[in-house]
């Protein structure tokens, strides 16, 4: 597969991480371009990655094989309507905006769709998470029916530049991805906050409690990723009968830990679906 020409609409943090990941993989600067309303952001991206930047979205996508929509969800409709006259059927649209459905994107990008000019937008929706900024992210991807096998590879190459890319068969599962991994880093940050505060109350200096917590979280995650058994087995192996770990685990379970996590993720998924309905009008 030849390297596609990629245009980013919006050059904020997530777009910059994707551009940086692509450049680190050896993608030529000449194959990447970006547009952004902010002159300062355009200058920063151009200087850091040696790519061409534009104030005009329409100019940025000329000749592009892949168009990455990286603007805020609230700005997506107006941006797509402005861009519609400049998008052609052979281009792949990749949206990293949460809550905007393929149907909404198709409607906005082809407002004159009819039997004579059917809407044939090839769209991949993806939900990356913030660790993508460190190229340690994970993304759920969904392709509509117009996406070719080559375009699926292009989208996977793009998101793999910042971490793991996983395909979904149903678009509505992106709400679950949002709940698990999109919002997920914040759950672990909350746990880190709580453990640090508890360690300090046990008498540790705050800086020491923070470092112990952070590196324990990092080590546990690396062990889980590298292991050939699931997390429940890893937990069992470090939980000695009548030991200190068991005392803590029993306390978590008595407090309804698993049920609380399930309720939290259900709330996130429900809110994701609500936002999709609101933003897709």
CA 268 and chain centroid, separation? 15
CA pair distance 267, 231, nearest whole angstrom:
24
Q: Check the CA dihedral 239-245-251-253 and report its sign.
A: negative
Q: Give per-residue burial for 29-60: e unless 16+ CB within 10 Å, then b.
A: eebbbbbbeeeebbeebbeebebbbbeebeeb
Instruction: State percent of the chain over pLDDT 70.
Output: 96
Residue 30 has what pLDDT? 96
The pLDDT of 210-233, averaged and rounded, is 97
Q: What is the per-residue pLDDT across 144-196, written as a single tens digit (0 to 9) for each?
A: 999 999 999 999 999 999 999 999 999 999 999 999 999 999 999 999 999 99
Residue 235 has what pLDDT? 97
User: Residue 38 pLDDT more than 70?
Assistant: yes
The pLDDT of 46-68, averaged and rounded, is 96
Nearest residue to 154 via CA among 31, 281, 11, 262: 31
**Which tokens in the block code for residue 172?**
């509505």
Give me the residue spans of the domains in the chain: 6-171, 184-276
Hey, which CATH number is domain 6-171, 3.40.50.300, 3.40.50.1370, 1.20.120.430, 3.40.50.720? 3.40.50.720
Q: How confident is the model at residue 279 (pLDDT cuts 50, 70, 90)?
A: confident
What average pLDDT is seen over the chain? 93
The pLDDT of 200-220, averaged and rounded, is 98
Query: Do 58 and 84 touch, CB atoms closer than 8 A?
Result: no
The pLDDT of 31-41, averaged and rounded, is 96
Q: What is the per-residue pLDDT across 88-135, written as a single tens digit (0 to 9) for each?
A: 888 999 999 988 999 999 999 986 544 444 457 999 999 999 999 999
Which residue(s) pair with 93 in the sheet? Answer: 67, 123
CA 187 and chain centroid, separation? 16
Q: What class is the 184-276 domain? A: mainly alpha
Gap between the terminal Cα atoms of the chain: 37
Q: What is the per-residue pLDDT across 186-204, written as a single tens digit (0 to 9) for each?
A: 999 999 999 999 999 999 9
Query: Do 169 and 195 touch, CB atoms closer than 8 A?
Result: no
Residue 276 has what pLDDT? 87
Instruction: State percent of the chain over pLDDT 90.
Output: 90
**Cα–Cα distance list, 117 to 67, 89, 202 (Å):** 21, 10, 68
CA pair distance 52, 45, nearest whole angstrom:
9
Query: Do 156 and 141 touch, CB atoms closer than 8 A?
Result: yes
Residue 2 has what pLDDT? 72
């Amino acid at each position: 597969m030849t390297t596609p020409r990629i245009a980013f609409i919006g050059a904020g943090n997530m777009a910059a991480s994707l551009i940086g990941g692509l450049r680190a993989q050896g993608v030529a600067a000449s194959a990447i371009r970006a547009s952004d309303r902010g002159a300062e952001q355009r200058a920063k991206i151009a200087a850091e990655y040696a790519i061409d930047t534009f104030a005009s979205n329409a100019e940025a996508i000329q000749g592009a094989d892949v168009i990455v929509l990286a603007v805020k969800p609230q700005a997506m409709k107006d941006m797509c309507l402005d861009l519609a006259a400049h998008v052609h059927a052979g281009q792949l649209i990749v949206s990293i905006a949460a809550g905007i459905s393929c149907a909404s994107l198709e409607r906005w990008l082809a407002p004159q769709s009819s039997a004579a000019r059917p809407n044939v937008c090839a769209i991949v929706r993806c939900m990356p998470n913030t660790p993508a900024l460190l190229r340690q992210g994970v993304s759920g991807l969904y392709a509509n029916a117009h996406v070719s096998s080559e375009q699926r590879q292009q989208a996977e190459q793009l998101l793999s530049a910042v971490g793991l890319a996983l395909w979904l068969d149903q678009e509505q599962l992106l709400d679950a991805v949002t709940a698990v991994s999109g919002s997920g880093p914040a759950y672990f940050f909350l746990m880190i906050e709580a453990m640090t505060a508890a360690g300090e109350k046990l008498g540790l200096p705050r800086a020491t409690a923070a470092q112990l917590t952070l590196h324990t979280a990092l080590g546990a995650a690396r062990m889980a990723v590298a292991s050939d058994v699931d997390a429940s087995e890893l937990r069992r192996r470090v939980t000695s009968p009548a030991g200190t770990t068991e005392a803590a685990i029993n306390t978590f379970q008595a407090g309804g830990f698993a049920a609380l996590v399930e309720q939290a993720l259900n709330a996130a998924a429900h809110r994701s679906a609500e936002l999709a309905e609101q933003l897709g009008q």
